[in-house]
A and B are shown apart, each in its own frame.
Chain A
Amino acid sequence: MTPPIDLRPYLDELERFADGQMSESEQAAFELRMEQDEQLSAAYEAYERFTADLRWVAGHETLRHRLKGLDKRLDQRQDALARIQRRRRRTQIRWGVASGVLLVLAGLALWLWLRPHTLSPDEAWARYYSPDPGLSETTTQRTGNLLLTEAMRQYHNGQYPEALQSMRRISEASLSPDSLYYYMGVVLLRQDDATAARTYLLRASRQPGSALAGKALYHLGMAQWRTGLLPQAKATLQTVADDAQNPYQAEARKVLQDKAVFPRD
């Protein structure tokens, strides 16, 4: 086995020759020397073998580095994609929760709005009772009954006790009984004394041939309802509702339709 050659004394020249760094004349001279100098020729062969091995090593290492670099980039891309997916999922969950909460709130609001609402007796009364407008001043003046004029004025002004007092002072001779009973009942009902009103309105409704009988029946029905006499109230108001001539027919139907006020049998 031939001992390995130490390239160091030749390395500068060999490298310049191999790398194409020599001028043309230098190269020709070097090639001539190689033909004549066995040692130099052997050194050149050893150098070529060394650099061929180095090329193999460089190729091996280049691929290794490139694959490692690519691996790192792919890892980074996967991490970034995973981060984006996580963020998107978090956002979706957040929106889902927000939508859920909104839906629940909307449902709650809708339920509150649409749920069967039981009116208090006062609310129901305020909603359904349609008070008599009373007689106008012109009408009362035409009757020439000053006390009636005074009572109606007080009624219009909401002075119900005073109106009652005035009404009580009216003599039975100066006003027909149906009008007296009717307006007494109406004023008492406005004063929220339904029990007392019932008596007057019952009488007014039973006056034969009275034009006020129909209206009195409505107010009587309402007074019965107000005092808790529901079956009687229902029957009375049903009569009003069935009477096409009664000016309170619509009001009577309206109150009868409310199942909370008059539950169906």
Chain B
Amino acid sequence: MTQPLAETLTHLRVGNQTFLIKFYQENRDLFARWARRQHQLQPAVAHELLRTVLVEFYDQVADGRLTKLPPDLRAHVYGMAAQNLQTTTDESDVLPAAESGRRRRLLGLFTQLTADCQQVLMFFYFRGYNFEKVAGKMGFANATVARLQKSGCLRRLYDLHLRAQLAADPASGDA
């Protein structure tokens, strides 16, 4: 937590999630106690709530919805958690509806892929691993296998995406 706030935000924006991982590690039990006292939540439920809130916080930073890190991050996170318990968060009021909807839909489709496919796509598109490293991490024979696997997974996701689009707007299929 000694990292300057602006630097932290930059790190988060470029995908360095260490700050939030450390935050979770250091505040999990404290948060669970607070959630039990304030909202009568069991530890496991409280832990899940904190994870959800941190992912949401990360999404806000990654989307550019959050441009300034709150001075008291813990209070901010607790506030988000309290809000999460009261209402179903809807980010469309901040993020353009089309973009928000598109990403949420894609997230839903992504979870339909196999665990291996999800992992390959996360390694390549988020961690920025090259094919050789993906192969090493996934236990594939070589970089070519990793490339083919990634390509196949991307196609599967795109197929799901197309099918979802057609289901939502059948007219677009005629185009």
Known: A3-B175, A11-B155, A61-B110. A70 touches B24 (CB 8 A): yes
Per-position binary interface string of chain B over residues 22-45, scored 1 when its CB falls under 8 Å from any chain A CB and 0 otherwise: 001100100000000000000000
Residue B82 CB within 8 A of the other chain: no
From B1-9, B57-65, B66-74, give the one contacting chain A. Answer: B57-65
For B, the interface residue count at a CB cutoff of 8 angstroms equals 38
From A51-59, A124-132, A171-179, A225-233, give the one contacting chain B. Answer: A51-59
Whether A54 and B106, one on each chain, are in contact in the complex, defined by CB atoms closer than 8 angstroms, is yes
Among A11, A61, A67, A68, the residue within 8 A (CB) of B118 is A61
Whether B157 and A67, one on each chain, are in contact in the complex, defined by CB atoms closer than 8 angstroms, is no
Whether A4 and B165, one on each chain, are in contact in the complex, defined by CB atoms closer than 8 angstroms, is yes
Whether B158 and A50, one on each chain, are in contact in the complex, defined by CB atoms closer than 8 angstroms, is yes
Per-position binary interface string of chain A over residues 49-86, scored 1 when its CB falls under 8 Å from any chain B CB and 0 otherwise: 01101111111111111111011001000000000000
Whether B107 and A60, one on each chain, are in contact in the complex, defined by CB atoms closer than 8 angstroms, is yes
In the complex the two chains form, what is the Cα distance from A15 to B161 in whole Å? 17
Among B21, B102, B122, B126, the residue within 8 A (CB) of A53 is B102
Which chain A residues lie closer than 8 Å to B55 at the CB level? 60, 63-64, 67
Shortest CB-to-CB span from B43 to chain A, Å, is 9
Residue A21 CB within 8 A of the other chain: yes
Residue B17 CB within 8 A of the other chain: yes
Per-position binary interface string of chain B over residues 107-133, scored 1 when its CB falls under 8 Å from any chain A CB and 0 otherwise: 100110000001001100111000000
Which chain A residues lie closer than 8 Å to B47 at the CB level? 71
Shortest CB-to-CB span from A173 to chain B, Å, is 113
Instruction: List B residues at the A interface (Cβ < 8 Å).
Output: 15, 17, 20-21, 24-25, 28, 47, 51, 54-55, 58-59, 62-63, 102-103, 106-107, 110-111, 118, 121-122, 125-127, 147, 151, 154-155, 157-158, 161-162, 165, 172, 175
By Cβ-Cβ distance, the 6 closest A-B pairs, closest first, are: A3-B175, A58-B126, A67-B51, A58-B125, A58-B122, A59-B126
Inter-chain pairs besides A55-B126, A60-B58, A67-B21, 10 sampled, C-beta below 8 Å? A8-B155, A15-B151, A50-B106, A54-B110, A58-B110, A61-B122, A62-B17, A62-B122, A71-B28, A71-B47
